[in-house]
Amino acid sequence: MTETLPEAVRPRVKPYFENVAPAHDWHHVQRVANLAETLAAEYDPDGRILFSAVWLHDIGRGREDRGEIEDHAEWGAEEAKGILAEFGAAEHEIRAVQHCIRAHRFSNDVEPETLEAKLLSDADNLDALGAVGIARVFCYGGEHRNTMHDPGMPLDADETRAGATSMNHFHKKILRLPSRMYTDAGRRVADERRAFVETFIDRFEREVDGEC
């Protein structure tokens, strides 16, 4: 049986994730694929575009983390062009996948314009919420030697964009993710996962204050 485009892309891009830190490793990509499949069940996306973009969306993450490039989404979109061409993707498909990759990044100004781009963005952001999202925040903080919690750096004194501590990061970015969902399906999952994060934050802060 002939492989589909996403099936061909998946093993081709897996080596890009060797030695990538846990917060954005190959397991993250697999979770995003699972989430995209769940969300897509309520819609009718082009699976060739959506799942090719899923496997490709973070291929530049390792290079950005190493300081070799500034924008993993932009670099990844350009790198994806050659990879997709290897498997005979049409020009319009390549452009569609590139848009998904460019639009998935939280901190850039590219708005998802297609259903496939919206589903990828939602799936990627959902992996930053809930129990997995909590684990990823502390993984990322450890990777960058960020303080987990600093009572001397309250949120109202933290002028950084993403949060000077892991706990501030929850407030600066993670808890805002539900407002960035583009699909109704994504919003439903995001609201439930956000509630879990809020429960964790409340418990964490009570424990820091010495409560039993």
Domain end position, chosen among 52, 82, 112: 112
User: Quick check: is 120 in a domain?
Assistant: no
122, part of any domain: no
For the segment 31-44, the average pLDDT, to the nearest whole number, is: 98
- Range with the poorest average pLDDT among 7-21, 156-170, 187-201: 156-170
Q: Last residue of a domain, which of 49, 83, 112?
A: 112
Distance CA 122, CA 182 (A): 7
Contact 27, 139 (CB under 8 A): no
Are 167 and 148 in contact, with CB atoms under 8 Å apart? Answer: yes
Query: Looking at residue 83, what is its pLDDT?
Result: 98
Report the CATH number that the domain containing residue 200 is assigned in CATH.
Answer: 1.20.58.1910
* Mean pLDDT within 193-198: 98
pTM of the model: 0.94
Is the model's pLDDT at 113 over the cut of 60?
yes
DSSP string spanning 47-74?
HHHHHHHHHHTTTTHHHHHTTS-S-HHH
Q: Are residues 20 and 91 in the same domain?
A: yes
Report how many domains make up the chain: 2
- pLDDT class of 206 with cuts at 50, 70, 90: very high
Q: What is the pLDDT of residue 144?
A: 85
Residue 38's domain comprises: 1-112
Instruction: Quick: pLDDT tens for 64-87.
Output: 999 999 999 999 999 999 999 999
**Would you place residue 110 in the very low, low, confident or very high pLDDT band (cuts 50, 70, 90)?**
confident
Residues 6+ apart with CB under 8 A from 165: 141, 146, 147, 148, 149, 150, 153, 158
Q: What is the mean pLDDT of the chain?
A: 94
Q: Tokens 């973009």 map to which residue?
A: 53
pLDDT on residue 158: 81
CATH code of the domain covering residue 7: 1.10.3210.10
Is pLDDT above 50 for 1? no
Half-sphere exposure of 170 (CA within 13 A, CB side): 26
Rounded mean pLDDT of 166-190? 96
Cα Rg of the chain (Å, integer): 18
User: Mean pLDDT throughout 134-147?
Assistant: 93
For residues 122-128, average pLDDT? 98
Q: Is 123 part of any domain? A: no
Q: How does residue 2 score in pLDDT terms, banded at 50, 70 and 90?
A: low
Whether 119 is in a domain gets the answer: no
- Check whether 94 has a pLDDT greater than 70: yes
Does 107 score more than 80 pLDDT?
A: no
Kindly tell me the sign of the dihedral angle through the C-alpha atoms of 74, 103, 80, 135.
Answer: positive
pLDDT of residue 124: 98
Residue 175, number of CB atoms within 10 A of its CB: 15
